[in-house]
Amino acid sequence: MPKKSLGVALVGTGFMGKCHAMAWNNVATVFGGARPRLELLCDANMAGAERLAEQYGFQRATDDWRAAVTDPAVDVVSITTPNGMHREMAEAAISAGKHVWLEKPMALRLEDAQSMADLAALHPNQVTMLGYNYLRSPAFQTALQIIDNGYIGTPHSFRGVYDEDYSADEHLPWSWRMTHEAGGLGALGDLGCHLVSQMLALMGPVSSLSALTSIVVPERPSSDGPKQVENEDSAMAMLRFASGATGSFATSRVARGRKCRLQWEVHGSDGSIVFDQENMNELWVCSKGEAGFTRHLTGPMQPDFGAFCPAPGHNFGFNEQKVIEARDLLVAISGEENKGPDFVQGLGIERIIHAMAGSNGHVVSLG
């Protein structure tokens, strides 16, 4: 952890902005080290920025994001704005000499993500990190350990889904999230990229894939009359990993009844692992010779859980994952390993979801 306190600017104050603010407020409490200085909060509305700066614990407020990312008191910039603003803000922050913590997806287009990764590579002393917080859960970290230790043998297949129902209602109003210009990809960019991040960590690189996408509700109501939905509501893919293993992938924002079903299975030569984010404090494991699965509850023996709570079976949460992510960012800034995904690794995730979006049933090589 850094020995000196780092100055933080937060750009964006919505759901994930508040999540970042909670992480910055709690990272030193949980993990120790120098407490970050919450210097500057930016929102498009100045009155809102001032109100939330006080609520979130920031010293100052602004409605000018360029001033926020170039402020001399700021060392790290958290960016939690809509997708279409990611590239310009992140590149401005890197060019100003700041470390960057950016929410996923990286950008609207693959060429944007490529530009961001190229710029980050030119500034190796500045840390970049993308907000794939599901990688930080104690259960997921334990699953990685189980695979690395050979407990389930050689992984030969992966099955994963990430489904939610926030767009299932056909009367839901049209929004910027449903456009290429402001939202980029649909379910793949909002949900599927999270599943890809876990899939790569569990199974390694993807060599080829074939995918189909669908717009289930092609038109949405708006104050200006009906508007077209431009990006996908759902996507499905078949994959081949570089290891030779196979995989299936599905994601949907219109799956009625599903709230955060980030669920995957890894089948190995000697066993299997099953996880579901809707039950994120459980990991199910079957090893060779066992008749079925054993339920493993999260507890202090799993990575990072004990820093929050000393008692097993006491539930871990979404926001706690973000505190671990903030810790990992600060550790990387101090010169230790960057657990990422950084912008270069994030480009690999973007290549996969954009390949899925453009496949139209054809096989796409990623090797």
What is the architecture, at CATH level 2, of domain 7-126? Answer: 3-Layer(aba) Sandwich (3.40)
d(CA 298, CA 61): 39
What percent of the chain has pLDDT above 70?
100
Residue-wise over 300-339: b if at least 16 C-beta within 10 A, else e? eebbbbebbeeeeeeebeeebbbbbbbbbbbbbbeeeebb
pLDDT tens digits, one per residue of 92-111: 999 999 999 999 999 999 99
Q: Is the pLDDT of residue 243 over 90?
A: yes
> In which residue are the tokens 């704005």 written?
81
Q: For residue 3, what pLDDT is reported? A: 75
For residues 192-210, give the mean pLDDT.
Answer: 98
Q: Is the pLDDT of residue 168 over 80?
A: yes
CB 61 within 8 A of CB 41: yes
Other CB atoms within 10 Å distance of the CB of residue 182 = 15
Q: Among residues 9, 208, 21, 193, which one has the least CA distance to residue 107?
A: 193
Domain boundaries, the chain: 7-126, 134-365
pLDDT band at 129 (very low <50, low <70, confident <90, very high): very high
Pair of tokens at residue 160: 């994963």
pLDDT band at 325 (very low <50, low <70, confident <90, very high): very high
The rounded mean pLDDT for the chain is 96
d(CA 278, CA 271): 23
- What is the CATH code for 134-365? 3.30.360.10
Q: Is the pLDDT of residue 171 over 80?
A: yes
For residues 283-307, give the mean pLDDT.
Answer: 94
> Is-same-fold flag (7-126; 134-365)?
no
| Predicted structure pTM score | 0.96
d(CA 199, CA 186): 19
CB 314 within 8 A of CB 74: no
